[in-house]
Amino acid sequence: MNQLAKITREQALAAKAWPFEEARRLLARIEARKKAGKPVDGVLFETGYGPSGLPHIGTFGEVARTSWVRHAFETISDIPTHLIAFSDDMDGLRKVPDNLPQPEMLAANLGKPLTAIPDPFGTHESFGHHMNARLRAFLDRFGFRYDFYSSTATYKSGRFDEALLRILARYDEVMKVMLPTLGEERQQTYSPFLPVSPKSGKVLLAKVVERDVAKGTITYVEEDGSHQTVPVTGGHCKLQWKPDMGMRWAALGVDYEMYGKDHLSQAPLYSAICKIAGGNPPEQYMYEMFLDDQGQKISKSKGNGISLDDWLAYGSQESLALFMFQKPRTAKKLYFDVIPKAVDEYIAFLESYHAAETTDEQRLENPVWHIHAGQVPQERYPVSFALLLNLVSASNAHNRDVLWGFIRAYSPEAVSPQSNPGLDKLADFALRYYEDFVRPSKVYRAPNEQERAALADLAARLEQLGDERDGKIVQDVVYDVGKAHNFEPLRAWFGALYEVLLGQSQGPRFGSFAALFGCAQTAAMIKAALNGEFLK
């Protein structure tokens, strides 16, 4: 039961699953710090978030993956860990996002920090605060452990001041790093410091004409052409995105950060700035981007691929976590068809985790150990999700009770929604899948004269059966009716049943279906079909 207690540090140190590989890199970093005589009071993980858009499936992936490394680290070391979820809420709003209320209000506030713009939803202190709350709700929903940091609040608190002043003092070095990465035009006006205009409140991409290291100020050209002097500290200036990341690494002492491949080429810049700001760049891990079924990059504007909500509508959270766990450095296709596979793979990993012959060493390599942070649930899934999906579409089982009837009939061992809540959830996913994908493709047809008479006959016979639950007896009746009405071959009779009643060309054994669905209910269903109610 308590697998966690049996795992030894030696086993964890030898484990090959990628979070352990990462944890060992991190441990080596910390050992080096100890050797250098520097204090080691904790290990800091960071994940970043841009709050001008809602959290999405990638946000989940990044935080989940970082959390797995964190947990792996905790099993090989007693050094305390922290994970910062950092929100870039001081960024100026560059364009009005789609699908938000009050676009004209947002347009009027373009350029201002997100935390200085009213909340278009009207529920929070600012737009930034609103989005931060959404992020936190998102992270809490999945039970992530984290410390939330607001960029605005951190700048204002002075926590970045020391690093900011160092960057001001070593301005030329910063420019030497940054300028080669910029276009010729941008080089003319570039400054790592973006002043927050005392006049307009906007975060300005302004040309800096003077620096005073002793006073800790810069003088820049305002939008109206005047010269303005502001401190670089205390939230009066924000750093450009790339230096911002490096400065933050230095100021907060970040030890570990992941990013998508789109950041890869920028990463050396972050590290260079971090060193200039007096820090030691963190261990970094690049993960690949997701592709759609055509192999194209998933982007919000294209609307290809699937969203987090899509996944969670048809598959479990655990299955999504498993997908994120597997091969982070391979560009994987993320589209609808991978969900059932991920769900069943999760079930398979769960089974093998609990199998008697599985060793603790093997358990450490099993994704479910990571996904559940060592506390792997005992639940069993004797029926696969693939079978459930087949069952629900083949059986027309569009309500839970009927579906559970089929599940019991198919399961090799006793199951119930109470004792198998996970399976019950899968049943819900299967039902939703049915509603969204199977039902719309159904095509009902009207019965011909022969079929009409037979169906009426069958309805009457079913009513006589009352609450008969033996599928065989009911099947005999169905067969009799077909014979009595001279269907040749007899399969035409069954075909008619499916096409008229279920709107599909194939279906479950009809007797079993009627027995589970209820003979009386089935009779009522036949009558409804005869009345043409399915043809609309």
Q: Which residues bind RNA (CB under 7 A)?
A: 50, 88, 91, 94, 181-183, 186, 190, 194, 205, 240-241, 244, 261-262, 264-266, 286, 288-289, 291, 295-297, 326-327, 329-333, 386-387, 390-391, 394, 472, 475-476, 479, 489-491, 494-495, 498, 506-510
Asked whether the beta carbons of 293 and 337 are under 8 A apart, the reply is yes
Single out the residue of 373, 342, 306 nearest to residue 57, CA to CA. Answer: 306
30 vs 274 by CB, closer to RNA = 274
CA distance 61 to 64: 5
Residue with Cβ nearer RNA (387 or 520): 387
Q: Name the minimum Å distance from CB 208 to RNA.
A: 13
CB 83 within 8 A of CB 45: yes
> Min. distance of Cβ 33 from RNA in angstroms?
27
Backbone φ and ψ of 372, nearest 5°: -100, 15
Q: Is 97 exposed, middle or buried (0-12, 13-18, 19+ CB in 10 A)?
A: middle
Pick between residue 45 and residue 287 the one whose CB is nearest to RNA: 287
In whole angstroms, the minimum distance from the beta carbon of 37 to RNA comes to 34
Tell the smallest beta-carbon distance from residue 496 to RNA (Å). 9
- Closest contact distance (angstroms) between CB of 52 and RNA is 7
**Residue with Cβ nearer RNA (183 or 440):** 183
- Measured from the CB atom, the residue of 31 and 262 that comes closer to RNA is 262
Q: Which three-class secondary structure string do you get for 115-138?
A: HHCCCCCCCCCCHHHHHHHHHHHH
How far apart are CB 495 and RNA at their closest, in Å?
A: 6
- Select 175 or 331, whichever has its Cβ closest to RNA: 331
Work out the number of other CB atoms within 10 angstroms of the CB of residue 10: 10
Provide φ and ψ at 532, rounded to 5°: 80, 15
Secondary-structure percent of the chain, ordered helix, strand, coil, rounded to 5: 55, 10, 35
Q: Which is nearer to RNA, 30 or 93 (CB)?
A: 93
d(CA 49, CA 214): 34
Between 124 and 332, CB nearer to RNA:
332
CB of 204 to RNA, least distance (A): 10
User: Measured from the CB of residue 39, what is the shortest distance to RNA in angstroms?
Assistant: 32
Q: Are 320 and 313 in contact (CB under 8 A)?
A: no
Q: What is the DSSP letter of 315?
A: S
* β 43-49/81-87 pair status: parallel
Number of C-beta neighbours around residue 158 at 10 A: 12
